[in-house]
Amino acid sequence: MRLTVLDRGHRLPARMFFGFTELVSRVPMSDVPKTLLYRPDFFGAVFLDLTAKAMRGPSFWTAGEREYTALRTSEQLRCPYCAVTHTELVQIAGDPSPLRQELLAVLAFLEDLTPPEGVPHNAVVDALNVSLIFQVVNRLANAFGFELLPGQLESGTRSLHRFGYRFPRFLTGPGSGSLASLRHAVLEAPAHTPAELRQAAAAGDAWGSYAATVRTSSYRITDEDIARLKQNHTEDEIFEVTVAAAVGAALDHHETGLKILGG
């Protein structure tokens, strides 16, 4: 993890939860919950609600098909951490192979935004919602340097599947799982950085080429890039700008997909 605050900057409830979970599982807490449970009022609470609905809520797609969609998104965005994780989750949730024609069509749509044929409108929207989640997570995993430690893959994936991507409310507080709420929390609400900066980052126009790189090729972000940013910015500022860039790219992809579908 490239930001110290994401390792050790959590509020007391999260620290207690991490400690208890690590005691029971004998496995260190993985980087995804560390990131999503850091300042959940800024990002994680809303995002976790959206994730649970997209990945395990009612849907045209099976849990295994949604995990396969997450895997394909992770491969497209060149996120090895997420690709390995969702390869495992495909097996746990139910390998959808051989793939339905509807899934093949919607996977092509998510990659090149070519209108899919023979797929119900609500099914394509469901797939766009899954893609949005991992359009964000992939970019954060790459930018923040997520790593899998021994035991985390098996323990973390089984917990995600068992609990349906949900975390206790005492960790997140109330969340409103809507895209409007996500946009407001990350790009408009008061935070360490001005809303104008976060909105610029969402469009890929902040801190030189950094925000644009998070949006278009997050796999190129290095330890040295983050170290240079730390010379002029706090870790909370880096966290917010990176999240804004990742969320902005994901929302753009989602909105483009909806426009192609006609609403």
Q: Where are the domains of the chain?
A: 30-165+173-261
So what's the pLDDT on residue 151?
95
CA distances to 27, 37, 141, 249 from 200, rounded to whole Å, are 38, 24, 21, 12
- Counting residues of the chain whose pLDDT is more than 90, the rounded percentage is 95
pLDDT digits (tens, 9 = 90+) for 99-110: 999 999 999 999
The model's pTM is 0.97
So what's the pLDDT on residue 263?
58
CA distances to 24, 63, 167 from 11, rounded to whole Å, are 20, 32, 15
